Chains A and B, each alone.
Chain A
């Protein structure tokens, strides 16, 4: 069965430090992968998506993600975190049939 695992429930990083949020998926075919961000009390905003081609995907707000088929991973990275990046981040895989499977989310805290 298809699934998405975000191993870290929450992560704390210092402002200016680098960030990596982990995502592992289980999907039988070529996956179509997404990262979304949700600020408190808001909807989800699409950060980036991977469909095919270059395995390093650039997104908005300075985020990037790398698809690694051998590891079934799609980790999100940012070289220097800003306080405004504090939010919850969701990894998702397109499962077809009008279904997108979301991970449980990772909450990012940024300390000054």
Chain B
């Protein structure tokens, strides 16, 4: 069966520091991978998605970036964190394309920028 991991689970970082969040998927090949941010009490905002190694699509301009160095690894990064980057970051995977694709989520990383 497929599993998705995210780490760290919780992170507290000072403003201006770098960021690296990692997501890995097991039990499947060539997944589509996604990064979402969920601000407190709000819905999900799609940040990036990837359909293959090295292929990244950005949905929202910001100081975050994403990379996919391996088929089942998706990394979210920042060179300098802002206070507004605080939130709950969720990684998700899916197979296939089109309206019917079902996304499956990881446990999330809570980021607090101080």
Contacts and interface: CB of A to CB of B under 8 A. Distances in A.
Interface of A: 29-32, 34, 36, 41-46, 49, 51, 90, 94-96, 98-100, 102-105
A32 B99 contact: yes
A44 B43 contact: no
A94 B99 contact: yes
B3 to A, nearest CB: 12
B97 to A, nearest CB: 7
Interface size class of B (residues with CB under 8 A): 20 to 34
Interface of B: 6, 32, 34, 42-44, 46, 49, 51, 57, 90, 92, 94, 97-108, 110
A102 B105 contact: no
Nearest to A30: B99
A95 B43 contact: no
